[in-house]
A and B are shown apart, each in its own frame.
Chain A
Amino acid sequence: GQNIDQPTEMTATEGAIVQINCTYQTSGFNGLFWYQQHAGEAPTFLSYNVLDGLEEKGRFSSFLSRSKGYSYLLLKELQMKDSASYLCAPGGGADGLTFGKGTHLIIQP
């Protein structure tokens, strides 16, 4: 089975930086995904880490430590449109992804 832990809610200020942490315990591991989900919409892909280290993609970066079962998503230069839920999802094989409950990020002016 899989156990995924991420904060329920975070608040940050427009223009600032926020880090959303995710810890996981899995029976198998092929990589870790981060998805963004705006209210009332479907999740959309943000990033994927299969090796340890930092992956940067514009304002978003994602870090993975497989030995520690730990990942974080770093969002820079926050914009109001970044208000959304962010879902951590370790992948364990052909049975697909297991999603964390998500972190609801609130951006304040």
Chain B
Amino acid sequence: NAGVTQTPKFQVLKTGQSMTLQCAQDMNHEYMSWYRQDPGMGLRLIHYSVGAGITDQGEVPNGYNVSRSTTEDFPLRLLSAAPSQTSVYFCASSPLAEVVNEQFFGPGTRLTVL
């Protein structure tokens, strides 16, 4: 199993550009989530999904969209990039949605918005 994979690993955008961060898992996990990590702020939840076709907002959802058309994939879309979105983005998955349990993290995407 590859676990949780994320692409790209690094990305530089100009203000106003849009892009999609890809996340995939091959463990048949129900629950998937996106976090951003900034210095001094810790990991903050952007969006999450408890199964295919179901998504919900986390702590900092503004400026981001998600969809979950399959169990495996959970892409994160930046609609119009802003410098405040410069961050490291982690995708995570866990087996069950009903109860909280161990989350497996992808390697991260380091995004810079100029």
| Proximity string of chain B (90-114) to chain A, C-beta cutoff 8 Å, 1 when within and 0 when not | 1000100111111111111000000
Answer whether residue A63 sits at the interface, using C-beta atoms and an 8 A cutoff: no
> Which of A17-25, A66-74, A75-83, A92-100 lies at the interface?
A92-100
Answer whether residue B56 sits at the interface, using C-beta atoms and an 8 A cutoff: yes
Known: A30-B99, A31-B100, A101-B41. A96 touches B48 (CB 8 A): yes
Chain B, residue nearest A88 (CB): B42
For B44, B99, B106, which residue has the most chain A Cβ atoms within 10 angstroms? B99
Question: Is B42 within 8 A of A102, CB to CB?
Answer: yes
Question: Is B98 within 8 A of A94, CB to CB?
Answer: yes
Chain B nearest CB: distance from A9 CB in Å?
11
B interface size (C-beta, 8 A)? 28
Known: A95-B48, A95-B56. A43 touches B97 (CB 8 A): no
Question: In whole angstroms, how far apart are the Cα atoms of A87 and B43 in the complex?
Answer: 9
Answer whether residue B25 sits at the interface, using C-beta atoms and an 8 A cutoff: no
Chain A nearest CB: distance from B40 CB in Å?
7
Question: In whole angstroms, how far apart are the Cα atoms of A4 and B9 in the complex?
Answer: 30
Chain B nearest CB: distance from A102 CB in Å?
6
Question: In whole angstroms, how far apart are the Cα atoms of A98 and B41 in the complex?
Answer: 12
Q: Which of A11-64 contact B (CB under 8 A)?
A: 30-31, 33, 41-45, 48
Question: In whole angstroms, how far apart are the Cα atoms of A33 and B40 in the complex?
Answer: 20
Question: Is A96 within 8 A of B90, CB to CB?
Answer: no
Known: A43-B43, A43-B90, A87-B43. A97 touches B99 (CB 8 A): no
Which of A45, A93, A99, A101 sits near B100, CB closer than 8 Å? A93
Chain A residues contacting B106 (CB-CB under 8 Å) are 42
Chain B residues contacting A44 (CB-CB under 8 Å) are 105
- 8 A-B pairs (CB sep. < 8 Å): A42-B106, A42-B108, A45-B103, A91-B101, A96-B94, A98-B59, A100-B42, A101-B42
Interface residues of A (CB under 8 A from B): 30-31, 33, 41-45, 48, 87, 91-102
Interface residues of B (CB under 8 A from A): 31, 33, 35, 40-45, 48, 50, 56, 58-59, 90, 94, 97-108
